[in-house]
Chain A
Amino acid sequence: AQKITQTQPGMFVQEKEAVTLDCTYDTSDPSYGLFWYKQPSSGEMIFLIYQGSYDQQNATEGRYSLNFQKARKSANLVISASQLGDSAMYFCAMRETGANNLFFGTGTRLTVIP
Chain B
Amino acid sequence: DTEVTQTPKHLVMGMTNKKSLKCEQHMGHRAMYWYKQKAKKPPELMFVYSYEKLSINESVPSRFSPECPNSSLLNLHLHALQPEDSALYLCASSQERFIQSSYNEQFFGPGTRLTVL
The answer to whether A and B belong to the same complex is yes
A residues contacting B by CB (< 8 A) are: 31-33, 35, 37, 42-47, 50, 52-53, 91, 95-98, 100-102, 104-107
| Chain A-chain B contacts (Cβ-Cβ < 8 Å), number | 62
Decide: B105 and A35 in contact? CB cutoff 8 A: yes
Decide: A43 and B105 in contact? CB cutoff 8 A: no
Q: Please indicate the chain B residues that have their CB under 8 angstroms from the CB of A47 in the complex.
A: 105-108
The CA of A35 and the CA of B109, in the complex, are separated in Å by: 17
Is residue B90 contacting chain A, with contact meaning CB distance below 8 A? yes
Given contacts A33-B103, A53-B102, A107-B41, 18 further A-B pairs with CB under 8 A are A44-B108, A44-B110, A45-B92, A46-B108, A47-B105, A52-B102, A52-B103, A97-B99, A97-B102, A98-B98, A100-B45, A100-B55, A101-B45, A101-B48, A101-B56, A104-B42, A106-B41, A107-B40
Instruction: List 25 A-B residue pairs with CB atoms under 8 Å apart, sorted by A's residue number.
Output: A33-B103, A33-B104, A37-B108, A42-B110, A43-B110, A44-B109, A45-B43, A45-B90, A46-B108, A47-B105, A47-B108, A50-B105, A52-B102, A52-B103, A53-B102, A97-B99, A98-B98, A100-B97, A101-B45, A102-B45, A104-B42, A105-B42, A106-B42, A107-B41, A107-B42
Decide: B101 and A91 in contact? CB cutoff 8 A: no
Is residue B88 contacting chain A, with contact meaning CB distance below 8 A? yes
Q: Please indicate the chain A residues that have their CB under 8 angstroms from the CB of B41 in the complex.
A: 106-107
- Quick one: which of B33, B102, B111 contacts A101, CB cutoff 8 A? B33
The chain B residue sitting closest to A4, CB to CB, is B42
The CA of A45 and the CA of B88, in the complex, are separated in Å by: 11
Q: Please indicate the chain A residues that have their CB under 8 angstroms from the CB of B42 in the complex.
A: 91, 104-107
Decide: B45 and A96 in contact? CB cutoff 8 A: no
Is residue B113 contacting chain A, with contact meaning CB distance below 8 A? yes
Decide: A95 and B56 in contact? CB cutoff 8 A: no
The chain A residue sitting closest to B88, CB to CB, is A43
The CA of A101 and the CA of B113, in the complex, are separated in Å by: 22
CB contact list, B28-60 vs A, under 8 A:
33, 40-43, 45, 48, 55-56
The CA of A33 and the CA of B88, in the complex, are separated in Å by: 25
Decide: A31 and B110 in contact? CB cutoff 8 A: no
Decide: A97 and B108 in contact? CB cutoff 8 A: no
